[in-house]
Each structure stands twice: as structure tokens, then as C-alpha cells.
């Protein structure tokens, strides 16, 4: 996994946005709340941080190259010290789960607004039927 693939996957999640904050940190957000963070500074070793369940947090920090995320570990965030600390599939699954956890904690009004806009978008994207010419 590399930065571009992480970025592409994260932004493929419904209503996910990105922004640069705190200098060189690239944040991936849903409803204004972050679900994953990586660093854009090439001088800093590549890291990826994301939220997880307490049980998963405990399992992941036991693995090599995975640490409690600085400043956010008390909220069960872990940091991969390198992108190859886990397989691509595992990273995608964990980032998706982080997205789901953060989405679930959004205020009900925000969740409903995002879900309503998803329904509106999907109803607009109905396939059109092409007429056959004889």
C-alpha cells in the first residue's frame, strides 16, 4: 500500500473528504470528523493512523510496526509506522471500519443528512434505457 492508494480508497468511501491540517497531515473525514490520517512530509517515515475498536486496538499494538497513535491512543487510534505493516486488504478493511465507527458517532442530524444525500444521488444515477435503431 502507498499514499496514493490509501488516498484513493479513503476518498472512494461515501461522502469522504480530505484536508491538510497541522502543517503536513492529510486528514480523511466524514461529516467533518476524521477517520484516518497520514503525513505528506517526505522526510517523515510514512505513517497511517486510524480509529478501531478497543479489542482490535489491543491486538494491533502487539504487532511490530504498529503503535498507539500519538495524542489519540486514548480514543483507540493506532498508527502504522510503515504502510507495509499490514496487507493492503487488511488496511482497507481497518480504514473502512474506522470510517464506520466515526460515521456511527456523528450527530443523528448529520448522519441523516448524509444518508439522505446518498439516496438522492443514487436515484439520480438510474441507468437510462437506450432505444434500439432498426
Whole-number pLDDT of residue 115: 83
The span from the CA of 105 to the CA of 101, in Å, is: 7
Residue pair 83/1 in contact (Cβ under 8 Å)? The answer is yes
C-alpha cell belonging to residue 105: 458517532
pLDDT tens, 31-75?
999 999 998 887 777 789 999 999 999 999 999 999 999 889 899
CATH 3.90.1150.30 fits 3-108, yes or no: yes
Residue pair 35/98 in contact (Cβ under 8 Å)? The answer is yes
pLDDT tens, 101-130?
999 999 899 888 888 876 766 656 555 555
pTM of the model: 0.81
The span from the CA of 11 to the CA of 61, in Å, is: 26
pLDDT tens, 3-26?
889 999 999 999 999 999 988 899
Domain borders along the chain are 3-108
Amino acid at each position: 500500500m502507498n499514499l496514493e492508494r490509501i488516498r484513493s480508497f479513503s476518498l472512494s468511501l461515501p461522502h469522504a473528504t480530505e484536508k491538510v491540517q497541522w502543517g503536513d497531515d492529510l486528514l480523511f473525514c466524514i461529516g467533518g470528523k476524521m477517520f484516518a490520517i497520514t503525513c505528506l512530509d517526505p522526510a517523515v517515515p510514512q505513517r497511517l493512523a486510524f480509529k478501531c475498536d478497543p479489542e482490535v486496538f489491543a491486538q494491533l499494538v502487539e504487532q511490530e510496526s504498529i503503535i498507539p497513535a500519538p495524542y489519540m491512543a486514548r480514543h483507540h487510534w493506532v498508527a502504522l509506522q510503515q504502510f507495509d505493516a499490514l496487507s493492503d486488504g487488511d488496511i482497507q478493511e481497518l480504514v473502512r471500519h474506522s470510517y464506520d465507527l466515526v460515521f456511527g458517532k456523528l450527530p443523528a442530524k448529520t448522519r441523516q443528512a448524509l444518508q439522505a444525500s446518498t439516496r438522492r444521488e443514487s436515484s439520480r444515477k438510474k441507468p437510462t434505457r437506450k432505444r434500439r435503431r432498426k
